[in-house]
Amino acid sequence: MSSALLLSFVLGYFVLLLVVAYFTSRNSNNDSFFIGNKKSNWMLVAFGMIGTSLSGVTFVSVPGTVGTAAFSYFQVVIGYLLGYFVVAFVLLPLYYRLNLTSIYNYLQHRFGMVSYKTGALFFIISRTLGATARLYLVINVLQIFILRDLHISFGLATFIILLLILLYTFEGGVKTIVYTDTLQTTFMLLGLVVCIAYIMSNMGHSVNSTLHELSQNNLTRIFNTDVHSAGFYLKNILGGMFITIGMTGLDQEMMQKNISVKTLKDSQKNMMTFSIIMVMVNFLFLLLGGILYLYAKTNNITVPGDDLFPTIALQYMPTAISIIFIIGLISALFPSADGALTALTSSFCIDILGIKRREDLSEKERKKIRLTVHFTFAFIFFLLVIGFKLMDNKSIIDIILKVAGFTYGPLLGLFAFGILTRRVVNDRLALYVCLLAPLLILGIDFVNNIGWWQKQLKLDGAWVDQMNAFSTSVFGTFKIGYELLIYNGLLTFLGLWMISGKEESIKLKEQGKLEEVKY
């Protein structure tokens, strides 16, 4: 397979994105960038969000987990579905009632400016780390299987890709991304379906025969009933549910697209349509993982999980399938990267810098600030992707969900406290609570899952053995799993309760007038 040929298709794909961006960003302004002028079509948003949520991590890592964990990831997917219901019928009505541009404005209305900026800060940290981890995974695949043969370094590839993302997002923002995400989701799903169909056909399998053979190899198992295991089904379902609430419902990137839809009803239709499709697509990725495992077993292919799909698609499949894989892979990459860059720019400009609150700024000055922030985040992305390369980790999906447990926990605690109670916090202390909670959870998780941390950070020495012994004496065989986010959120909730007091009514200052608001 010619690396130059594959690269030419990648570049052609970029050209297509730039053409779409050119037509969709004409006559754009700051509101177009931030919320698409609230004119986005709900069907396009729903379809495009699939690509944003799945990303290159799902495209590469989820199939790679089947060989070691069977279909157990589907436990988390069930939790995702429950979480989407909460987002659609609890959080979206709140955001629309307050007519928010940034969802973290809710925290200002409910608690005060410090809580508001604390929520935005945790989103910025969360999304920056998550987006760059996803970006690293896909660029690394491109570099290993295509760019290295052309003597293009990882650093140069990262720089060029981020530059191209900047070119098609810096002007239109959300207005453009709604369309580019739809295009990219189409290519990603096409790549998934074609790869499944071809590999099954190549092996002489149908869907039924594939599932039968996977069952024979004990790879269709979904539910883990070991209560002490990190993969226990209740932990994974609840973890998946709260991960969705945090990473979708409390995430400016995901909600920025939802609240760009004109009405609440259409936004809810978007969310429910999207959630059902997401469940089906995740099942297809697990099915693909099972097919890849069977193919690798038949052909004596032994590679790390994250390398399984790229290795088979690019080294064992015909040229047409390799091209479809590459297009699908980069289609999975860009919805998560471009959306994150846009959402981070929006949040920093609106929540941290407050450019919409500052009446002294003209539209031109706001745009200048927005562009500066946009380019700055692109540079931060570059540095962090290089950092992930230095770590050279092979289980990115675990890292992303682990990071989410720490960084989205305070957001979950803040929003839950605001919605479920009528207590008023000491706003000045909110930041300290939100910093302390994840630090305590980090310490607990480090002791409980010392083996995982040892593997990720390449720790060694006698103290690691001592820590393992201590962990066993304290926790026994119990391991914290994806429900880490729940513990973090609960600890934040309790901390906020300790710095709060009662008040019969909650009032907020909005547009110069005091209004009573019911939450």
Least confident residue range of 128-137, 244-253, 388-397:
388-397
Kindly list the distances between the CA atom of residue 248 and the CA atoms of 123, 204, 242, in Å, as whole numbers in the listed order: 11, 40, 10
Angstrom distances, CA of residue 374 to CA of 7, 97, 173, 260, 379:
27, 29, 10, 20, 9
Q: Is residue 506's pLDDT more than 70?
A: no
Residue 496: pLDDT band (50, 70, 90) is: very high
pLDDT tens-digit readout, 4-48: 888 888 888 778 877 877 776 666 554 545 544 455 666 666 666
Query: Which range has the top average pLDDT, 82-86, 301-305, 476-480?
Result: 82-86
Structural domain count, the chain: 1
The whole-angstrom separation of Cα 321 and Cα 199 is 10
pLDDT value of position 511: 41
The answer to whether the pTM exceeds 0.85 is no
Is residue 146 very low, low, confident or very high in pLDDT (cuts 50, 70, 90)?
A: confident
More confident residue, 400 or 63: 63
> Tell me, what's the pLDDT at 140?
84
CB 171, CB 25: distance < 8 Å: yes
Whether the predicted pLDDT of 410 surpasses 90 = yes
Mean pLDDT in residue range 119-130: 89
Q: What is the mean pLDDT of residues 296-305?
A: 85
Ranked by mean pLDDT, which of 88-92, 102-106, 148-152 comes out on top?
A: 88-92
Tell whether the model's pLDDT for residue 519 goes beyond 50. Answer: no
Structure confidence at residue 336 (pLDDT): 65
Which of 481, 519, 428, 486 lies closest to 231 in space, CA to CA?
Answer: 481
- How much is the average pLDDT of 490-503? 90
Average pLDDT of the residues of the chain: 82
Find the helix or strand (DSSP H, E) in which 70 lies.
none
Contacts of 429 (CB under 8 A, 6+ apart): 499
Write the DSSP assignment of 450-466 as a string of letters: HHHHHHHHT--SHHHHH
Residue 354 has pLDDT above 80, yes or no: yes
What's the pLDDT score for residue 46? 66
Distances (CA, A) of 297 to 67, 75, 214, 301, 451: 10, 25, 12, 6, 28
Stretch 248-261: mean pLDDT: 81
pLDDT at 170: 64
Q: Are strands 500-501 and 424-425 parallel, antiparallel or unpaired?
A: antiparallel
Structure confidence at residue 413 as a pLDDT band (50, 70, 90): very high
Closest CA to 157 of 165, 107, 516: 165
What residues are paired with 40 via a beta bridge? 261
Question: Are 111 and 427 a contacting pair, CB within 8 Å?
Answer: yes
Structural domain span for residue 409: 3-390+398-516
Contact 144, 459 (CB under 8 A): no
Tell me, what CATH number does 99's domain have? Answer: 1.20.1730.10
Percent of the chain with pLDDT over 90: 27
Residue 459 zone, left/alpha/beta (φ > 0; ψ -120 to 50; rest): beta
| Neighbouring-strand partners of residue 509 | 514
- Spatial separation of the C-alpha atoms in residues 391 and 376, rounded to whole Å: 23
CA dihedral 143, 398, 259, 352 (to 10 degrees): -80
Give yes or no for a contact between 35 and 174, defined as CB atoms under 8 angstroms apart.
yes
Looking at residue 26, what is its pLDDT? 63
Give the pLDDT mean for 391-416: 80
CA neighbor of 88 nearest in space, from 45, 34, 31, 35:
45
